[in-house]
Amino acid sequence: MYPLGLRLVGRRVLVVGGGRVAHRRIPRLLEAGADVVLVSPAAHIALEALADAEALRWHRREFTPSDLAGAWLVLAATDDSGVNSEISALAEDARIFCVRSDDASAATAWTPAVGRHDGLTVATFADNDPRRAAALRDAVADRWEAGDLVAPRFRPAAQPVPAVTLIGGGPGDADLITVAGRRAVRAADVVIADRLAPAALLEDLPDEVEIIDAAKIPYGRQLDQDRIIELMIERALAGKAVARLKGGDGFVFGRGGEELDAATAAGIAVRVIPGVSSALAAPALVGVPVTERGVVHDFTVISGHLAPDDPGTLVDWDRLAAGRGTLVLLMGVRHLAAIAARLIAGGRDAETPVVAVMDAASARQREVRARLADVADADITSPAVIVIGEVARVR
């Protein structure tokens, strides 16, 4: 076998059969820019959605020899080995490479197990043993993730383009950051991290990486937001790869929009990597869904940084009190008594269950359950995510 990378942008790839194999292979072909034509009387629901979105063309019928016209590559993926054999034979006569889902030994092309990272592609074959090939690919990917495998660049590097990556670190546990977020942290020259960002990620960084502690302790020590932006832009314009690492998602009460605007105004390219917001993760970690069929169909995430009677608040507390939806309160410990009183005065039942999740996704995580009427007297400390509504009942 001769390994070869195919450049498929704008080139037709014929896929015959709309089942499990096609469902797995077609997204990768679309990522490569292929002009995918699917021929099958029926297709997996995800493929139907791609066809509806015009990401591929779907002919809802059986295969005919004329379908091969103009194809550069064919994937025979029907449940009928006879049809697959016919497609393979016709493709060979037309000198079109053909991948077969049922019999690799009869195919003219094989699909490798593929892994990608930092502009690198690793494709593995294992003499028709796909599980072994996948195991090798995963082993390589694991070493990439751990930072044990480094592929140096030998071509002269282009002039660095000023760039900032805004990364949502998830609710606290380093395992709950996205793969993209983890990679971006490891690729950074400078990491500006908040207190609630997953600290375990920082411990493994090389000594030459500059780590700037932004703290962000509520009502306590913290780096001023203007200073954070100033440092972010300064380091980026100096040619450093800057990672702005926050807990949760930086676009949910994380001032990510301000940082995006500032970097863009300074001519700096920005990549945003979303994170798992603590507003959703903390309730889930204690078995509380923020929505539930037949119970509640909406939820509202609220900043409790300002008291309900503060003239600067933008929250419509009367509307929230009169509704039935789940309320998820962030940064609300300091004003919890005032918030609970305002909700009850506005019409929320005083018996409404409440759950507070403190230090979510950490070894210190704990929860407190109460009623809205007495939640202000509960032992709740920051940082806490507070859920108010029927979904917070003890299950």
Using an 8 Å Cβ cutoff, are 16 and 102 in contact?
A: no
Q: Which amino acid is at 152?
A: P
- The SS3 call for residue 179 is helix
The Cβ of residue 261 has, within 10 Å, a number of other Cβ atoms equal to: 12
Q: Read off the amino acid at residue 85.
A: S
Check if the beta carbon of residue 334 is closer than 8 Å to that of residue 219: yes
Which two three-digit tokens encode residue 284?
A: 């889930």
Count how many residues are written for the chain.
Answer: 395
* Percent of the chain that is helix, strand, coil (3-state, to 5): 30, 25, 45
> Inter-axis angle of helices 179-186 and 130-146, to 10 degrees?
50
Residue partners of 82: CB distance under 8 A and separation at least 6: none
Whether residue 216 lies in the annotated active site: yes
Q: What does the angle CA 206 – CA 211 – CA 214 come to, to the nearest 5 degrees?
A: 160
Give me the catalytic one of 173, 216, 240, 246.
216
Options 35, 173, 194, 249, the catalytic residue: 194
Pairing of strands 326-330, 384-388: antiparallel
The residues carrying an active-site annotation are 194, 216
